[in-house]
Amino acid sequence: MHKVLVEGIKVYAYHGCMEEEARLGGNYVVDVTIETDFTEAAITDDLTKTVDYVAVCSIVKEEMAIRSKLIEQVGKRIVDRIKREINGILKVKVRVNKLNPPINGVVSGVSIEIEE
């Protein structure tokens, strides 16, 4: 079993239940971990035999650009699309971290994590 990790994908997006979040937006960091078998890629040095990091980043950025009230929904969309569009996936884990959320109290971030 091998893993490809694409970590710290920084995006500015407009998710949240409050009107000001839809208007002002906020900073997010997304991490993606994909379990796969890249033995052939390691031997042949062939990108088509492994997970393309650029494709993963593109999916994350495109899905983060679609507004949702809940980061749970955004995370699920990212997982579903990665599973649908990237070949050779055995398991995928996505973490969406909303930085400095507007909640009552000092919190550096709130996150959801989905693993399928």
User: So which residues are the catalytic ones?
Assistant: 98
What is the spatial distance between Cα 94 and Cα 104, in angstroms, rounded to a whole number? 26
Radius of gyration of the chain (CA): 15
What is the spatial distance between Cα 14 and Cα 71, in angstroms, rounded to a whole number? 10
Residue 50, Cβ neighbours under 10 Å: how many? 22
What is the spatial distance between Cα 31 and Cα 25, in angstroms, rounded to a whole number? 19
